[in-house]
């Protein structure tokens, strides 16, 4: 381990203009601080840079398709200064507070800003593949069925009735469905249809029973609000996963959307975790099960707010017997106060 030598450091620092600047600045600050009111009020300084002036001129040009004259530019600048003065005075008067529009606008700006920031890079193949693997269910094919059906009665007839037994026997021996079916607008067969579309045509009761029937064989009765059916399920294809290559385009869209939503949600969550929130009349004393009680010394009773989603729990000490709050802020603060 080399010994720390400060001599050369000061020697070097003595030549550095930055250090001169800092030292002088510090002296000036000290003087003005002692002098109180003499500190220049930075809030009363307005400087319109050349770039800012150019920006005004550019905006003018977009609207009018020509550069502003000297007079026009002067009045643009005057207008801009006026706006700035009013803006600062309004802020000083607190006019931005409790104005729903201002609040909402600021919130939007923050959200949009964060969305834009989070949204730039193209996802890599690895990211997409990872997202696909985590969300395979989302990219599965639909479960589909094919079946034939015969409406044998508009009533509910039971399995042992002659109608059912005879119809099943006839179908088994090759009789065509059209010769047995009652006249109906219902389709004789549905092919490769999802549960949703079968339910739309025959109703959910029919669907629930039909899916249970054996493949390749006439069976029933299956009941719907139209009456009693016999059904022959031809195909019962469970939903199955699709390959990444097949759904890559969808994955890419979902990934980007998900990344944006997650980023905004996480951003908010991070901010939210820094706040203590209570709703209703009992400020601060309204605890939910996510609070856990801990001791913080003899005169302190502390509770710790741990929303599961917060990486950094907020902790607070409740001083007894006066019941006053001390916000412990971040965990290291809490750790300190606790160790004392």
Partner 1 sequence: MKQILWVSACLLALGGCTDAEAPAPETVSANPEPTIQQIAEGPHYSAATSNTHPTRVYWGDTHLHTNLSQDAFTFGVTLGADEAYKFAKGEPVVATHGEIAQLQRPLDFLVVSDHAEGLGAMKALLDGNEKLLKVERLQQWREGFLKGTAEARNAVAQDGRDNGWPLELESGEIKSDAWAHLRGASERHNDPGKFTAFIGFEWTSWPGGSNLHRVVIFKDGADKTGKVLPFSQNESDKPQDLWKYLQNYEAKTGGQVLAIPHNGNISNGLMFPLLQEDGQPLGATYVETRSRWEPIMEVTQIKGDGETHSFLSPNDEFANYETWDFGNFKGVPKTNDMLEFEYARSALKNGLKLEADFGTNPYKLGMIGSTDSHTALPTADEDNFYGKHSAGMEPQKNRWKDPVGKGGEQSILGFMMAASGSAAVWAKQNTRESIWDAMKRKEVYATTGPRMTVRLFGGWDFQEADASNPDLAEIGYAGGVPMGGDLSANLAEQAPTFLIAAAKDPMGANLDRVQMVKGWRGADGQTHEQVYDVKWAGERAIGAAGKLPAIGSTVDVAEATYANSIGAAELATVWQDPEFDAAQQAFYYVRVLEIPTPRWTIYDAKYFETQMAPMVKLQHQERAYTSPIWYTPSAE
Tokens of 180: 């047995």
Nearer to partner 1, 261 or 335 (CB): 261
CA 83 to each of CA 8, 94, 128, 139: distance values in angstroms, whole numbers, following the listed order: 52, 16, 48, 53
**C-beta of residue 228 within 8 angstroms of C-beta of residue 158:** no
Would you say 16 or 205 has its CB closer to partner 1?
205
192 forms part of the interface with partner 1 (CB under 8 A): yes
Helices 244-272 and 125-134, packing angle to 10 deg: 90
Q: Is 202 in the site for partner 1 (CB under 8 A)?
A: yes
Residue with tokens 């975790």: 273
Among 189, 239, 262, 309, binds partner 1 (CB under 8 A): 189
Please pick, from the candidates 184, 294, 312, 337, the single residue that binds partner 1 as defined by CB under 8 A.
184
Residue 237 Cβ vs partner 1, minimum distance, rounded to whole Å: 13
The size of the interface with partner 1 (CB under 8 A), counted in residues, is 43
Q: Does residue number 65 form part of the binding site for partner 1 (CB under 8 A)?
A: no
CB 57 within 8 A of CB 76: yes
CB of 64 to partner 1, least distance (A): 17
From the list 114-122, 211-219, 279-287, 325-333, the region that binds partner 1 by CB under 8 A is 114-122
Among 33, 75, 141, 154, binds partner 1 (CB under 8 A): 154
The radius of gyration of the chain from alpha carbons, rounded to an integer in Å, stands at 37
Residue 249: phi and psi, rounded to 5, are -60, -45
- For residue 253, the tally of other CB atoms under 10 A from its CB is 10
**Given candidates 73, 170, 188, 318, which one binds partner 1 under the rule CB under 8 A?**
188
* Look-up of token digits 């005004």: 56
Q: Tell whether residue 226 is a contact of partner 1 (CB under 8 A).
A: yes
For partner 1, which residue of 76, 80, 114, 115 counts as binding (CB under 8 A)? 115
Nearest to 149 by CA among 199, 93, 221, 94: 221
Cβ 101 to partner 1, closest distance in Å?
4
Stretch that binds partner 1, among 53-61, 184-192, 284-292, 294-302 (CB under 8 A): 184-192
DSSP 316: E
How far is the C-alpha of 258 from the C-alpha of 116, rounded, in Å? 14
What SS3 string covers 63-97?
Answer: HHCCCCCHHHHHHHHHHHHHHHHHHHHHHHCCCCC
Closest CB 156 distance from partner 1, rounded Å: 11
- Provide the 10 A C-beta neighbour count for residue 89: 11
Contact region for partner 1 (CB under 8 A) — 86-94, 198-206, 210-218, 279-287? 198-206
Which of the residues 254 through 313 are near partner 1 (CB under 8 A)?
256-257
d(CA 207, CA 196): 9
Judge contact between 293 and 283, C-beta under 8 A: no
Candidate residues 152, 157, 171, 177; the one interacting with partner 1 per rule CB under 8 A: 177
Least Å from the CB of residue 215 to partner 1 = 17
Nearer Cβ to partner 1, position 8 or 178?
Answer: 178
- Binding site residues, partner 1, CB under 8 A: 100-102, 104-105, 108-109, 112-113, 115-116, 119, 154, 177-178, 181, 183-193, 196, 199-204, 206, 224-227, 249, 253, 256-257
């Amino acid at each position: 381990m080399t010994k720390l030598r400060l001599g050369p450091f000061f020697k070097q620092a003595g030549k550095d203009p930055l250090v001169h600047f800092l030292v002088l600045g510090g002296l000036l600050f000290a003087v003005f601080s002692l002098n109180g009111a003499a500190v220049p009020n930075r809030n009363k300084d307005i400087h319109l840079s050349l770039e800012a002036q150019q920006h005004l001129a550019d905006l003018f040009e977009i609207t009018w398709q020509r550069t502003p004259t000297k007079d026009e530019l002067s009045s643009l600048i005057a207008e801009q200064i006026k706006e700035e003065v009013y803006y600062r005075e309004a802020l000083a008067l607190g006019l931005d507070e409790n104005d729903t529009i201002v609040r909402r606008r600021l919130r939007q700006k923050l959200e949009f800003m964060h969305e834009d920031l989070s949204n730039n890079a193209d996802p890599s193949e690895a990211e997409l593949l990872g997202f696909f693997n985590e969300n395979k269910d989302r990219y599965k094919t639909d479960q589909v069925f094919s079946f034939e059906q015969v409406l044998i009665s508009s009533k509910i007839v039971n399995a042992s009735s002659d109608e059912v037994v005879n119809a099943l026997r006839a179908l088994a021996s090759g009789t065509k469905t059209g010769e047995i079916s009652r006249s109906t607008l219902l389709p004789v067969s549905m092919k490769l249809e999802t549960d949703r579309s079968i339910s739309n045509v025959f109703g959910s009761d029919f669907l629930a029973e039909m899916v249970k029937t054996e493949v390749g064989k006439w069976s029933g009765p299956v009941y719907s609000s139209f009456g009693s059916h016999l059904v022959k399920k031809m195909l019962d294809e469970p939903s199955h996963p699709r390959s990444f290559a097949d759904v890559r385009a969808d994955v890419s869209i979902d990934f980007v959307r998900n990344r944006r939503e997650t980023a905004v949600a996480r951003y908010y969550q991070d901010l939210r975790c820094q706040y203590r929130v209570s709703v209703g009349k009992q400020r601060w004393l309204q605890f939910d099960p996510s609070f856990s009680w801990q001791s913080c010394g003899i005169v302190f009773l502390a509770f710790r707010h741990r929303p599961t989603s917060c990486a950094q729990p907020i902790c607070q000490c409740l001083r007894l017997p006066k019941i006053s709050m001390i916000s412990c802020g971040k965990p290291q603060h809490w750790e300190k106060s606790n160790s004392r």
